[in-house]
Amino acid sequence: MKIAMPVDDKFMDTSICISFGRTPYFLIYDTDTKEGVFLDNSAVASQGGAGIKAAQTISDNKADALLTPRCGENAADVLKAADIKIYKTQGTSAIDNINAFVDGKLSVLEEIHAGFHKHGEK
Amino acid sequence: MRIAVLSGKGGTGKTLIAVNLASAAKTSAYIDCDVEEPNGHLFFKPEGIEEAEIAIKIPSVSEELCSGCRICVDFCKFNALAYIKGKLKIFDEVCHSCGGCVLFCPEKALSEKDKVIGKVQRGVSDNVAVSTGILNTGEASGVPIIKKLLNNSMIEEETLTLIDCPPGSACIVMESIKEADYCILVAEPTLFGVHNLQMVHELVKLFDKPHGVVLNKCLEGENPAEIFCLEKDIKILGRIAFDNELGTINSNARIAVRENEKYKTMFSSLLQKVTREVHHETVANS
């Protein structure tokens, strides 16, 4: 299966990015072939709705699961429609999280935040 | 004659000044553009209220017509649309109502529907026609409500109109002062007050609006806001003292001009001064 995660750099030793929608890159990892592909996140400079666009990218790349430290409600809405399960990352290493996911040690992300899209808009 | 009252932060006295100037006039209109938390109506307690809902346009999809081309998804700068598993998802609260997705859809699968974001109330309080804009909680922008408040044909050129602006210097304030003939900037006598005054001062200069400052809550001794006005050569229209009696009347949601002859005289003279300034500006610019 294919799993996606927001990452800070384009190499396998990278760390998980704290933001899903505004992450610079995504790592799409295939647990069967054990190969990873890095994608630029085109949503990073969005005026708004970055989470929606990022979730669209994850869906278009046929990921089955997303590993992320957190996720906003609009992104979660898109991911749900795309049948992509969201798991909460542990620690910062991408590889450790891939291994933890394969070993069934990551739990489903329960806490969906309300997003930052309404702040300061006066 | 449209006079906007603004300040860089809340609580400086915009509503105090707008409400009392409107009350001091023979007849006037008061328009509360602080649509996120309008409070002028608490003072005026207007009667004979008429309400009108304000709606914006948001897209709606006909799934039979949608071909999944994603032109709308790619077009939207706010990412209000996503295309997932053969279905278009629309995020109403992310949409900024530009209408672009509807225009670009090659299948005519998108149409516009109304979404109510708030309302406008109109009523009368003695000599003052009171209009209030109310934005529903959680909505992104009050601009459509302010547009409706200020584009009303009831507001005639010759009517003295006080526009009570939202605090700050963002889009909704720009919308509120756009058609104003004159701007009154209200400032507090603190360094923080100076910072906020500077923000709105830059804004009115950018909009090329004639303007002057009312120094509110004045105490004995040095007034940083006054020093700022003198340095920048900004017209000082008046000074309102830090006055327990005025504060008490105001905090009880009563209108000082209607309660006490002393305040009637004070605000009438401020109104005269502002009116003279507006005429002076009109003559100078014609």
A49/B87 CB distance under 8 A: no
Chain A residues in contact with B93 by the CB 8 A cut-off are 117-118
User: Tokens 């070993």 identify what position?
Assistant: A103
Q: How far apart are CA A71 and CA A60, in angstroms?
A: 18
Interface test with B, best of A22, A56, A58, A59 (most B CBs within 10 A): A56
Q: Angle at the Cα of B108 (from B104 to B113), degrees rounded to 5?
A: 90
User: Does residue B235 sit in the same domain as residue B208?
Assistant: yes
User: Does residue B270 sit in the same domain as residue B155?
Assistant: yes
| Stretch 103-142 of chain B: residues touching chain A, C-beta under 8 Å | 138, 140-141
> At B32, phi and psi to the nearest 5?
-90, 105
Q: Tell me how close the Cα of A83 comes to any Cα of chain B, in angstroms.
A: 9
Instruction: Domain of residue B13: give its range.
Output: 2-54+117-285
A121/B141 CB distance under 8 A: yes
pLDDT (tens digit per residue) in B138-189: 887 899 999 999 986 556 777 899 999 999 999 999 999 999 999 999 999 9
User: Does residue B211 sit in the same domain as residue B131?
Assistant: yes
User: Does residue B123 sit in the same domain as residue B234?
Assistant: yes
User: Does residue B271 sit in the same domain as residue B228?
Assistant: yes
Q: B282 near B276, Cβ under 8 Å?
A: no
B172/A49 CB distance under 8 A: no
pLDDT (tens digit per residue) in B216-266: 999 999 999 999 999 999 999 999 999 999 999 999 999 999 999 999 999
User: Does residue B176 sit in the same domain as residue B93?
Assistant: no
What torsion, rounded to 10 degrees, do the Cα atoms A25, B79, A72, A39 define? -10
Q: B190, B192, B188: which is closest to B213 by C-alpha?
A: B188
Can you list the domains of chain A with their CATH numbers? Answer: 2-113 (3.30.420.130)
Interface test with A, best of B74, B79, B81, B137 (most A CBs within 10 A): B79
B82/A118 CB distance under 8 A: no
Mean pLDDT to the nearest integer, A60-89: 96
